[in-house]
Amino acid sequence: MSSENLMTLNLKIWRQKNNKEKGEIVDYTIDGISPDASFLEMLDILNEKLIKEGSDPVAYDHDCREGICGMCSLMINGQAHGPEAETTTCQLHMRKYKDGDTIVIEPFRARAFPVLKDLMIDRQAFDDIIAAGGFVNVNTGNPQDANAILVPKENAELAMDAASCIGCAACVASCKNASAMLFVSAKVSQLALLPQGQVEADERVKNMVLKMDELGFGNCTNEAECEASCPKGISISNIARLNRDFLKAAVTSND
Amino acid sequence: MASSMLKYATSSVVKKQVMGVTGLLLCGFLISHLIGNCLMYLGPEVFNKYAHALVTNPLIYLAEAGLASIFLIHIGLAAKLTIENNNARPDKYFVKQKTGHGATFASSTMPYTGLIILVFLILHLLDFKFGPLHTATYGGVEMRDIYKTVVDYFQSPLSVLWYIFCMIALGIHVSHGFWSAFQSIGFWHTKYTCLLQCLAKVFAVVITLGYSALPIYCYLQGGN
Ligand code: FES
């Protein structure tokens, strides 16, 4: 890599000591960034520099760095996971930017996701929603024949599409209402579309929606910014499914 | 039982569904009101007789009460949802940019266009329903000359412009609201969703143009 390709960037990063204190945007300049570096590698380089200077490195979430775990987040220039469609922050590369660019980096924001430090948020709320119903109970015993339960191919594919949700929370971050409907609808759909998910279908959708409301997420206004920001391209048709399943479960419920 | 019903009725999903259903009912009202307005083109007698038949029908109180409650539910719930949505993100973003593939101008301005329509609605009732009283007599029956009230009102270009401005806001509002209602109720199908979105736009254009034509017509009528 010839050095003339290396970029100098102006970063505006949200710094916040902890959950209690107020944060602020802090300016940094970083040079020598290769277009081949990933966005997170660029932050690593910044952090190395900060550590060398004796200052506090920027805290941010990441794990697999290959777009499958859903740990990385970041609001990059006001877009969840940055400008590229169906791409997580860890899969975003600096070739998207040019020398001298200013990049604003903020945490995903929602009442339900408190900032822990800098760019790190607490996404416990998603786990709480899953715990409220996003599972199937399976009896132990001898495994039955794999082909005993028939699944229509189309449903299998729709369920698989819904199941590709990695729970990163980009849907909530990009929604102007901080609504978690896309996440909840994907987690409801992946089971509702399969015969194995039928037994608990009504309870699941009721409990997950009520939990979502209780945790302080906003109400969906069908803008589809969630779908457009989702690194897995999950469709808002799942939200429509959630809406009708919830209505049906609520109307027919015995409690 | 009652408490569980309340629990579901106050859930985010059902609140949105009530918004959707009341919105669709109001769309129905828009169509019937527009058809009624079109009678103005047939002259004062036809229009006044129609209006007279409408207000002297004993069922009108029931219809008005129903319509008023639909409006109040739609508006009240809109206010509640907007406040809740605002609270769901207390710390705003330093920069926020749309993806360009999701939100539209119409979808992101629903509370504002809604507010314009609310102000319009109040003024509209004051200007016409509770506006200047004139009378006309047809075949020995004295009735309100609402035709004159309307034509007089639209002699001011400012009134015409304000009316058209509000009808544009209304068109924008329904262009998102119409299909959004179906999404909230849970109606989604690869075949029909596209169609519904197109239909919403067509509906919006028909409503805006349909309602805007009348004030222009009245203005052009001048003093005659
Ligand atoms: S770090 Fe695992 S998805 Fe980005």
The contacts of residue A6 (CB under 8 Å, 6+ apart) are A31, A32, A33, A34
CA nearest neighbour of A30 among A7, A58, A64, A53? A7
Gap between the Cα atoms of A115 and B9, Å rounded: 32
CB within 8 Å: A177 and B108: no
Determine how many CB atoms are found less than 10 A away from the CB of residue A162: 23
Give CB contacts under 8 A, 24+ apart, made by B45-52.
B45/B138, B47/B146, B47/B147, B48/B136, B48/B138, B48/B143, B48/B144, B48/B145, B48/B146, B48/B147, B49/B138, B49/B143, B51/B143, B51/B144, B51/B146, B52/B141, B52/B143, B52/B144
Are residues A21 and A111 in contact, defined by beta-carbon separation less than 8 angstroms? no
Residue of A nearest to B17 (CA): A243
- Tell me what the pLDDT averaged over chain A comes to: 95
Of A75, A104, A222, the CB nearest to B184: A222
pLDDT at A247 over 70: yes
- Per-residue pLDDT reduced to its tens digit, A89-117: 999 999 999 999 999 999 999 999 999 99
Are residues B22 and B74 in contact, defined by beta-carbon separation less than 8 angstroms? yes
Q: Is the CB of A72 under 6 A from ligand 1?
A: yes
Are residues A17 and A109 in contact, defined by beta-carbon separation less than 8 angstroms? no
B196-224: b (≥16 Cβ within 10 Å) or e: bbeebbebbeebbebbbbbbeebbeeeee
pTM: 0.94
Interstrand relation of A102-106 and A79-80 (parallel, antiparallel or unpaired): unpaired
| Domain presence at residue B2 | no
Interstrand relation of A7-15 and A24-33 (parallel, antiparallel or unpaired): antiparallel
Strand partners, A11: A28, A103
pLDDT at B21 over 90: yes
CB within 8 Å: A246 and B16: no
**Phi and psi for B143 in degrees, rounded to 5?**
-145, 170
How large is the average pLDDT for residues A28-37?
A: 96
Mutate to test the interface with A, among B6, B10, B12, B182 (most CBs of A within 10 A): B12
Encoded tokens for A247: 């209505």
A130 and A224 part of one domain = yes
A139 and A227 part of one domain = yes
Residue of B nearest to A83 (CA): B99
| Domain presence at residue A117 | no
- Give nearest CA residue, ligand 1 atom 3: A67
Structural domain range at position B75:
12-92+107-220
Angle between helix B110-124 and helix B60-87 axes, rounded to 10 deg: 150
Structural domain range at position A46:
3-106
Are residues B77 and B19 in contact, defined by beta-carbon separation less than 8 angstroms? yes
Q: Is the CB of A164 under 6 A from ligand 1?
A: no
Q: What's the N-to-C CA distance of chain A in angstroms?
A: 66
Q: Which residues of A touch B16 (CB under 8 A)?
A: 219-221, 243
pLDDT at B223 over 70: no
Q: Which residues of B touch A221 (CB under 8 A)?
A: 16, 81, 85, 107, 110, 180
| Domain presence at residue B34 | yes
Q: Quick one: which H or E segment has residue A177?
A: none
Where residue A138 sits, what CATH number does that domain have? 1.10.1060.10
Q: Is the CB of A65 under 6 A from ligand 1?
A: yes
C-alpha distances (whole Å) from B213 to each of A198, B25, B40, B168, B216 are 53, 23, 11, 12, 5
Where residue A64 sits, what CATH number does that domain have? 3.10.20.30
pLDDT at B95 over 70: yes
Q: How many angstroms separate the CA of residue A144 from the nearest CA in chain B?
A: 34
- Per-residue pLDDT reduced to its tens digit, A192-234: 999 999 999 999 999 999 999 999 999 999 999 999 999 999 9
| Domain presence at residue A210 | yes
| Domain presence at residue A241 | yes
CB within 8 Å: B16 and A220: yes
Atom of ligand 1 nearest to the CA of A91: 4
| Domain presence at residue A111 | no
Tell me if chain A has a CB within 8 Å of the CB of B185: yes
Are residues B158 and B175 in contact, defined by beta-carbon separation less than 8 angstroms? no
A85 and A202 part of one domain = no
Where residue B84 sits, what CATH number does that domain have? 1.20.1300.10
A135 and A238 part of one domain = yes
Angle (CA) A205-A136-A66 rounded to 5° is: 90
A93 and A14 part of one domain = yes
- For B:106-125, CB contacts with A below 8 A are 107-108, 110
Of A75, A220, A250, the CB nearest to B93: A75
| Domain presence at residue A158 | yes
- For B:189-218, CB contacts with A below 8 A are 190, 193
pLDDT score recorded for residue B193: 85
- Per-residue pLDDT reduced to its tens digit, A45-79: 999 999 999 999 999 999 999 999 999 999 999 99
Number of domains in chain B: 1
CB within 8 Å: B12 and A209: yes
pLDDT score recorded for residue A141: 86
The Å distance, Cα A192 to ligand 1 centre, comes to: 27
Q: What is the ipTM score, two decimals? A: 0.91
Report the range of poorest mean pLDDT among A184-193, B1-10, B61-70.
Answer: B1-10
Gap between the Cα atoms of B162 and A118, Å rounded: 48
Number of domains in chain A: 2
Q: CA A152 from chain center: how many Å?
A: 29
How large is the average pLDDT for residues B210-216?
A: 96
**Amino acid at site B169:** A
Q: What's the N-to-C CA distance of chain B in angstroms?
A: 63
| Domain presence at residue B214 | yes
A223 and A146 part of one domain = yes
Angle (CA) A150-A153-A154 rounded to 5° is: 130
| Domain presence at residue B100 | no
Gap between the Cα atoms of B76 and A89, Å rounded: 40
pLDDT score recorded for residue A143: 82
Q: How many angstroms separate the CA of residue A13 from the nearest CA in chain B?
A: 10
CB within 8 Å: A78 and B88: no
The contacts of residue A137 (CB under 8 Å, 6+ apart) are A199, A200
Strand partners, A15: A24
Mutate to test the pocket of ligand 1, among A60, A61, A65, A119 (most ligand atoms within 8 A of CB): A65
Q: CA B64 from chain center: how many Å?
A: 15
| Domain presence at residue B21 | yes
- Per-residue pLDDT reduced to its tens digit, A122-158: 999 999 999 999 999 988 888 888 888 899 999 999 9
Secondary structure of residue A30 in the 3-state scheme: strand
Atom of ligand 1 nearest to the CA of A90: 4
pLDDT score recorded for residue A40: 97
CB within 8 Å: B12 and A220: yes
Give the torsion through C-alpha atoms of A151, A154, A159, A161, to 10 deg: 150
| Domain presence at residue B102 | no
Q: Which residues of A touch B77 (CB under 8 A)?
A: none
SS3 content of chain A, % helix, strand, coil (to 5): 40, 15, 45
Looking at per-residue pLDDT, the higher value among A164 and B194 belongs to A164
| Domain presence at residue A189 | yes
Backbone region of residue A78 per phi and psi (left: phi > 0; alpha: psi in -120 to 50; beta: other values):
left
A151 and A236 part of one domain = yes
Are residues A230 and A164 in contact, defined by beta-carbon separation less than 8 angstroms? no
